[in-house]
Amino acid sequence: MFNEKELSRIIRNEGGVSRRFFMAYSAALASLPFLGVRASAADRKVTFASNPFTLGVASGDPDATSVVLWTKLAPKPTDPDGGMKPEHVKVVWEIAEDEKFTKEVRTGTSIASPQLGHSVHVEVEGLKNDRWYWYRFRAGDATSPIGRTRTLPALNAEPEKLNFAFVSCQHYEQGLYTAYEHMMKDENIDLVFHLGDYIYEYPNNPKALARVRAHSGPKDRKIQTLDEYRERHVQYRLDPALHGMHAKCPWFVTWDDHEFDNNYANDISEKKGVDPIQFLIQRAAAYQAYYEMMPLRKNCLPKGPDMKIYRKASFGRLAEFLILDTRQYRTDQPNNDGIRPLNEEALKPTNTLLGKEQRGWLQKSLIASQAEWNVLAQQVMMGMAQLGKLKDTDEGLYSMDQWPGAAQERMDLMKFIQDRKVPNPIVLTGDIHSNWVNNLHVDDRQPDTPVVATEFVATSITSGGNGIAKPKMLDELLKANPFIQFHNRERGYVRCTVTPEKWVSDYIVVEDVLKPNGKVVTRESFVVESGKPGAKKI
Ligand code: FE
Ligand code: CA
């Protein structure tokens, strides 16, 4: 393996960002963990000074017959190496039809490798459709906590119901994970979608207004190295409510910006003058740490600075989820980012959040889908919300980091959905640390045109500390943007109940995230009836 200095030198000698270099680097990285594992090393009898399962267990990306089981060996989780020697360790996994493991259906072994921080990603195949399972791991003489997971219905099944929750933005310093504590008790959550900002890359900030606990790691700068990204992920996952909720049901995760760096766009930093090569080297570290910590399939394994995370999941013929990545392939935010007019720069047809390949895949998936509900699970708000006005000209201002920064691509996507008559399009969104329900038009500035899709935006789990139910500018906001049905700035999550006839989204809020046992209430509920895009308050 090259170290960072060597990498940088090699790339510079090749004269700039060389695709060839990254292919070579990618191949080198990708060949490491899963090939040539020597059983002899892994078979050595391991003993741990203390419990190696401090980070709990997780599962994810189920389909009708398989699911990913995850854990990471870390007897000393806050040490850089987790308290592990640089050796392969054999880990036994078991999956059963019952919590007591009397009906074990499958067992096997996997290798926790030092290259991947002794994380374990097992893809268990050959399971029955649409049912719950329980799983655990063993390493040496230690046994992990038991996790619960499930498969999805068969591709051609016509399920009567789907219950899930979606979340985003869980800044560790700015609040407690009370939302997850509550979700753990909710038997009506079968799946969780995490739409990004799983960690934040910022240093420990004693001056932050809302702060209930402190980031570990560097004090004077953001995290940058693989070890630092790993340490940050570990700090978050040590929270019992977070790993507790991971153990309750499978998650589908995707990232936004803070898993790597605020408001990044592909290889472009928000900071001027950052060398794109250095930035991609850092991205490789961030993406690897993310892969290590998440219950993702092996086909997500990063190749150097690239990691394909956009993918789909089918809940029988009831719902098709298209999980997007609007960071890795996007063009730079127009107008120097920020809140800006929807001018020529913002409307440039070359601006993209998806990139050509993902956009093609998305269009293909939308026309191929046989599902009743077609769901984009993604990061930034699609509703073209006018968030303010320029003082002199009265021109509306929009967020350049969100879909208005690629307004043409956004409008073309809605037009595509409208023209192809994609059934019941729903957009799920995170990032913005506030709750929104939006009735989406091809162009949201034209409220008299037909509603094409419905967007549910979930607020943050903690980011921003305690919010408010009725923001000051609410009336103005709603007046300027008739497509917005609901907006609120409390913390929490959204729980969805989906049947062939209707989609219900419950906006569940935690009234205080700065103290333990914050009160949890359902603030509002909205329904979309099949065949009628647009949400109504219940
Ligand atoms: Fe965020
Ligand atoms: Ca974000």
- pLDDT digit string (tens) for 227-282? 999 999 999 999 999 999 999 999 999 999 999 999 999 999 999 999 999 999 99
Distance 322 CA to ligand 1 centre (A): 21
Number of the ligand closest to the Cα of 171:
1
Which contiguous run of DSSP H or E holds residue 526?
strand 520-529
Residue 200: alpha-carbon gap to chain centroid: 13
Backbone angles phi, psi at 324, to 5 degrees: -105, 165
| Three-point CA angle 327, 332, 335, nearest 5° | 130
> Helix (H, G, I), strand (E, B), or coil: what is residue 165?
strand
- Segments in the chain below pLDDT 50: 1-21, 24, 27-28, 30-37, 39
Distance 463 CA to ligand 2 centre (A): 10
Which parts of 385-470 fold into alpha helices (H)? 407-419
For residue 494, the cross-strand partners are 166, 507
CA–CA dist 383, 443 (Å, integer): 9
Which residues, including other chains, have CB under 8 Å from residue 53's CB and lie 6 or more apart?
A: 71, 73, 137, 139, 142, 143, 144, 145
Distance 298 CA to ligand 2 centre (A): 25
**CB 134 within 8 Å of CB 47:** no
Residue entry with tokens 């990254």: 22
| Model pLDDT, residue 11 | 39
| Model pLDDT, residue 47 | 87
Residue entry with tokens 């990913």: 68
User: Phi-psi region for residue 299, left (φ > 0), alpha (ψ -120 to 50) or beta?
Assistant: alpha
| Residues whose beta carbons lie less than 5 angstroms from ion ligand 1 | 169, 197, 463
CATH says 57-150 is which class?
mainly beta
Q: CB neighbours (10 Å) of residue 301?
A: 20
Distance 498 CA to ligand 2 centre (A): 27
Distance 233 CA to ligand 1 centre (A): 15
Number of the ligand closest to the Cα of 261:
2
**CB 375 within 8 Å of CB 319:** yes
Number of the ligand closest to the Cα of 464:
1
Q: CB neighbours (10 Å) of residue 518?
A: 20
Number of the ligand closest to the Cα of 463:
1
Which parts of 166-266 fold into alpha helices (H)? 178-185, 226-237, 240-246
Of 3.40.50.720, 3.90.950.20, 1.10.540.10, 3.60.21.70, the CATH number of 162-537 is 3.60.21.70
Number of the ligand closest to the Cα of 256:
2
Which residues, including other chains, have CB under 8 Å from residue 90's CB and lie 6 or more apart?
A: 39, 42, 43, 46, 109, 110, 111, 112, 139
Number of the ligand closest to the Cα of 169:
1
Distance 159 CA to ligand 1 centre (A): 33
| Three-point CA angle 62, 261, 249, nearest 5° | 20
Distance 67 CA to ligand 1 centre (A): 28
| Model pLDDT, residue 49 | 86
Tokens of 453: 């899709």
Q: CB neighbours (10 Å) of residue 182?
A: 19
| Model pLDDT, residue 32 | 47
Distance 304 CA to ligand 1 centre (A): 25
CA–CA dist 422, 41 (Å, integer): 53
Distance 496 CA to ligand 1 centre (A): 21
Q: Domain residues of the chain, as ranges?
A: 57-150, 162-537
Entry pTM: 0.93
How far are the Cα atoms of 54, 78, 83 from residue 218, in angstroms, in the given order?
23, 14, 20
Which residues, including other chains, have CB under 8 Å from residue 67's CB and lie 6 or more apart?
A: 59, 60, 61, 123, 124, 127, 133, 149, 150, 151, 250
For 50-116, give the DSSP string. S-S-TT-EEEE---SS-EEEEEE--SSTTSTTTT--SS-EEEEEEEESSTTSSSEEEEEEEEE-GGG
Distance 169 CA to ligand 1 centre (A): 4
Do 57-150 and 162-537 agree at the fold level? no
